[in-house]
Amino acid sequence: MNMSANVIVVEHPLVQVKLTQMRSKETATPDFRRLLKEISHLLAYEVTRDLVLTEREVETPVERAMCPVLRDLEPCFISILRAGNGILDGMMDLLPSARVGHVGLYRDHETLEAIEYYYKVPTDMADREVIVVDPMLATGHTAVAAIDRLKKDGAKNIKFLCLLAAPEGIAEFQKGHPDVPVYTASVDQKLNEHGYIVPGLGDAGDRIYGTK
């Protein structure tokens, strides 16, 4: 992994190969969805790498032994709707007991600002590590608005996980939340005039769900 300015790029070969397949416009919706779930497993390993462990006694078929378990409550995953659910599905495979919340935001195509339409999160976020997921960190407005809201409700230990980030989105995000690390599979070149990441992979939500 390459770490710089609180941005962690997951450079594992399998992450990069799957991301390449997802970028291709020839990749059909079912394959895109499968690849997103697979890459989410790999990203989940990295974003949870620093979870703190303790030990408890376990009886194996051979003898009793002290074995590692999570010291704290399971993390809380927050999906930014709708595309965040594609990453959420893969992460829940690894941590099925994690708490889950959803923040519904859409980007105004004129102002590129985030507008909230849905919000439902666990009440004990302050006691858990909170991992916010969204495939794209483009303008950064949606991610900043979501984390503004979560902090207002008590979230403290927060990470942001995405597939792709644009330099402009990272700058906006770090201006709003310099304390929140960003985990991503790639920092791409730039945003185009429509606010899409270049070279990117198109609209993640449309490609996950087969919409336009």
Residue 34 falls in the annotated catalytic set: no
Torsion, CA 116, CA 32, CA 23, CA 164, rounded to 10: 40
Among 111, 123, 149, 211, which one carries the catalytic annotation? 111
Give the chain as a DSSP string.
Answer: -EEETTEEE---HHHHHHHHHHH-TT--HHHHHHHHHHHHHHHHHHHTTT--EEEEEEE-SS-EEEEEEESSPPPEEEEEETTHHHHHHHHHHH-TTSEEEEEEEEE-TTT--EEEEEEE--TTGGGS-EEEE-SEESSSHHHHHHHHHHHHTT--SEEEEEEEE-HHHHHHHHHH-TTS-EEEEEE-SEE-TTS-EES--S-HHHHHHT--
Active site includes 111? Answer: yes
To the query of whether residue 107 is one of the catalytic residues in this protein, the response is: yes
203 tagged catalytic = yes
The catalytic residue among 31, 89, 107, 127 is 107
User: Which residues partner with 66 through β-bridges?
Assistant: 57
Characterize the bridge pairing of strands 76-81 and 7-9. unpaired
Q: How far apart are CA 97 and CA 75, in angstroms?
A: 9
The catalytic residues are 107, 111, 203, 206
